[in-house]
Amino acid sequence: DQQVKQNSPSLSVQEGRISILNCDYTNSMFDYFLWYKKYPAEGPTFLISISSIKDKNEDGRFTVFLNKSAKHLSLHIVPSQPGDSAVYFCAASQGGTNAGKSTFGDGTTLTVKP
Amino acid sequence: DGGITQSPKYLFRKEGQNVTLSCEQNLNHDAMYWYRQDPGQGLRLIYYSQIVNDFQKGDIAEGYSVSREKKESFPLTVTSAQKNPTAFYLCASSRTGTRSNQPQHFGDGTRLSIL
């Protein structure tokens, strides 16, 4: 029972275009969502997050959109750059006794072609 | 420079042997976590600790053990009971384990292989 799903294992876009990475979740108790970026042989690094009380959060070229009714979030990268090529993980967390724990999706490998 | 240090980067284990993966952080974070990543898969939580001298099992704790005697250190032992230990192991920490909005900071991982 995977609570966080990234249905696209890979995505390829041209430099300068928009990259859209998608993530779906099933647990309505999740109240915070995070995106991490991972290069090969390194640990993931935090990219951007969004609280469940918001529907959009923007940080430079990165924007995350949250649709609570659809239990869906997406990460938009505009414009995409070759250095953005990496694996992107969606993660979700909740408060209460499970606070601090994050549930991760399987990741989407983004390739940005020059 | 604050961060998380995992050692060794590569580790080989013989059948029936226990091995311990080191994780040290100097970020003054309360919470620490161990994840396992298999090829093509996401991060699965093995153990986590929100405070010194306390830790909880994650989703795949069988065959693993941890200790949290110091705030800075959270070593993971892969025991002989773990029948499929070959994987990439990631350690992470966050400012507190009691709030859901704290991003985790990761080390660069240890790749464990069976000889």
pLDDT value at B96 more than 80: no
Which residues of chain A neighbour B41 with C-beta distances below 8 Å? 106-107
- Amino acid identity of residue A101, one-letter, is K
In chain A, residues with a C-beta closer than 8 Å to the C-beta of B4 are 43
pLDDT in tens, A2-34: 899 999 999 999 999 999 999 999 999 898 999
Nearest CA to B67 out of B78, B80, B57, B54 is that of: B54
Q: Which of A5, A101, A106, A109 to mutate to test the interface with B (most CBs of B within 10 A)?
A: A101
Report chain A residues whose CB lies below 8 A from the CB of B98: 99-100
Q: How many CB atoms lie within 10 A of CB B27?
A: 14
* Closest residue in chain A to residue B5, using alpha carbons only: A43
For residue A98, the model assigns a pLDDT of 63
Which tens digit of pLDDT belongs to each residue from A75-111? Answer: 999 999 999 999 999 999 887 666 667 899 999 999 9
- Return the SS3 of B103: coil
Cα dihedral A51, A54, A59, A64, rounded to 10, equals 80
Q: How far apart are CA A1 and CA B59, in angstroms?
A: 12
What average pLDDT is seen over chain A?
93
To the nearest whole percent, how much of chain B has pLDDT over 70?
95
Lowest pLDDT segment from A57-61, B77-81, B87-91, B101-105:
B101-105
Percentage of the residues of chain B whose pLDDT score is greater than 90? 71
Q: Say how far apart CA B79 and CA B64 lie, in whole Å.
A: 6
